[in-house]
């Protein structure tokens, strides 16, 4: 299945695409796809979370996202300023309005269950939704079997990047449900490079043709501009907002202070050449601090890695004088690399660790930057491979189950690595020993070998450092 630009870049809210964006969409989908007339019969809804969703769901805002999804909210449309008040009202009144149409009893502490023991076979990030009729009892979740059978039940999986599937849907490719028809289909970088060689076209022209075939020129351009605007608005908001991030770790926002220091130094003409990397870092940090605070971000390819691509894109505009069309080229190529990572490995930290999130994001950003700077197809592929190669094996071990430490700084490092990878690739002629396809397959195999405690469960690695201290 073809993963489009619009599949990969999803505008939503923080702090996590798999734990926030995905569950919100899943809860809404569960209710939206009920048989006609069943919504009016529901007296109670419950959800059971498995795997990484259970272990780090509260820190990632999964409980909040599910409640918003039950209310019919969408990640790209929900008013972020109203979320806290909305959730407080549900808790106070112990009731929820399903899709804004049916008010039912809802007790978050009872009706959201975190199953820390069981794993479902298809994917770690599983959610089982259940709806009950008027005869449902109001006991604890554990007493459910002794109560009454649900009138509707469905298990959905959040597989990274906001993608939601059930048992009958493919775990790779677009969730739109059918094969997309594009002029240049590809399932590997080798295939995409072959199209370019045959047609004597740069990768971005091939990918632009694919996107135009799916939704037309105007819609594609409009979407690209909307993504860019959301990226840069998020950066600007992040460098202007002070205070502490939510969650209990008392992490102070750093982006405003760093940005102020850099601005002063620029005005005093005290900027050493390497300080450009500080600008890249502050852009990435700004985005991920906004993400950690539940702000509006874009999955790129996930929320946990949301700062890498916009930081490098902003660098391309502000320091490389890349024009708007070049920024479009950047995103087209970046999306293709992200799609390959998803199709042939994973972009889910719960499945392959942070190599699938920040690693994939760095590969996307490196390829995008190379494209925007006029690199050859082979140099673009080499840039992506270098960036991914040097993130292989990276674990996902967030302290406190929050997307803060080490996630925020890790995005800054991923952005810097992406730029370095592009620079190295463009110093060569595109010839290299390891292909991007081989690096992606290595990421898949490495993720399969990685212990579960290093895959977004907060049961190992740095997640235990705070406890040990």
Predicted pLDDT at 178? 46
- Annotated domain spans of the chain: 16-165, 189-468
Average pLDDT over residues 446-468: 90
Task: Give 430's pLDDT tier (boundaries 50, 70, 90).
Answer: very high
Mean pLDDT of the chain: 93
Q: Is the confidence at residue 377, as pLDDT, over 90?
A: yes
Domain 189-468, CATH 1.10.10 — does that match? no
Q: Is the confidence at residue 267, as pLDDT, over 60?
A: yes
Q: Is the confidence at residue 139, as pLDDT, over 80?
A: no
User: Where is pLDDT greater, at 306 or 123?
Assistant: 306
Min mean pLDDT across 32-41, 269-278, 326-335 is at: 269-278
d(CA 16, CA 160): 9
Q: Is the confidence at residue 224, as pLDDT, over 70?
A: yes
Predicted pLDDT at 207? 98
Predicted pLDDT at 174? 40
Average pLDDT over residues 135-151: 62
Q: Which fold has domain 16-165?
A: 60s Ribosomal Protein L30; Chain: A; (3.30.1330)
16-165 with 189-468: one CATH topology? Answer: no
Predicted pLDDT at 147? 57
Predicted pLDDT at 272? 77
Predicted pLDDT at 122? 86
Average pLDDT over residues 27-49: 97
């Amino acid at each position: 299945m073809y993963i489009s630009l619009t599949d990969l870049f999803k505008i939503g809210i923080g702090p996590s695409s798999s734990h926030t964006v995905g569950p919100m969409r899943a809860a809404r989908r569960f209710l939206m796809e009920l048989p006609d007339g069943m919504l009016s019969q529901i007296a109670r809804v419950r959800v059971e979370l498995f795997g990484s969703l259970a272990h780090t769901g509260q820190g990632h805002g999964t409980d909040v996202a599910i409640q918003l999804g039950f209310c019919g909210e969408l990640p790209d449309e929900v008013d972020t300023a109203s979320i806290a008040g909305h959730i407080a009202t549900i808790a106070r009144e112990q009731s929820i309005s399903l899709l804004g149409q049916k008010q039912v009893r809802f007790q978050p502490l009872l009706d959201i269950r975190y199953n820390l023991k069981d794993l479902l076979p298809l994917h770690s990030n599983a959610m089982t939704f259940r709806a009950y009729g008027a005869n449902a009892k109001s006991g604890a979740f554990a007493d459910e079997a002794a109560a009454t059978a649900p009138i509707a039940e469905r298990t959905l999986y959040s597989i990274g990047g906001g993608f939601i599937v059930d048992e009958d849907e493919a775990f790779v490719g677009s969730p739109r449900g059918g094969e997309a028809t594009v002029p240049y289909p590809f399932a590997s970088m080798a295939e995409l490079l072959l199209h370019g060689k045959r047609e004597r076209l740069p990768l971005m022209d091939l990918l632009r043709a694919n996107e135009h075939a799916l939704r037309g020129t105007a819609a594609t351009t409009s979407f690209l501009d909307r993504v860019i605007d959301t990226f840069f608005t998020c950066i600007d908001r992040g460098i202007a907002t002070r205070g502490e991030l939510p969650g209990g770790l008392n992490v102070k926002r750093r982006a405003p202070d760093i940005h102020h220091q850099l601005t002063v130094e620029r005005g005093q003409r005290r900027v050493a050449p390497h300080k450009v990397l500080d600008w890249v870092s502050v852009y990435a940090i700004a985005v991920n601090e906004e993400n950690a605070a539940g702000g509006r971000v874009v999955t790129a390819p996930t929320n946990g890695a949301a700062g890498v691509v916009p930081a490098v894109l902003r660098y391309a505009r502000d320091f490389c004088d890349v024009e708007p069309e070049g920024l479009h080229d950047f995103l087209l190529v970046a999306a293709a690399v992200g799609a390959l990572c998803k199709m042939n490995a994973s972009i889910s930290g719960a499945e392959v660790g942070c190599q699938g999130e920040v690693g994939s994001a760095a590969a996307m950003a490196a390829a995008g930057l190379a494209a925007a700077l006029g690199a050859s197809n082979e140099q673009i592929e080499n840039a992506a491979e270098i960036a991914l190669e040097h993130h292989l094996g990276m674990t996902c071990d967030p302290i406190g189950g929050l997307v803060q430490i080490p996630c925020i700084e890790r995005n800054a490092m991923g952005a810097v690595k992406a730029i370095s990878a592009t620079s190295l690739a463009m110093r060569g002629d595109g010839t290299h020993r390891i292909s991007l396809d081989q690096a992606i397959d290595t990421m898949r195999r490495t993720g399969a070998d990685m212990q579960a405690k290093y895959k977004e469960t907060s049961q190992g690695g740095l997640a235990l450092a705070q406890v040990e201290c």
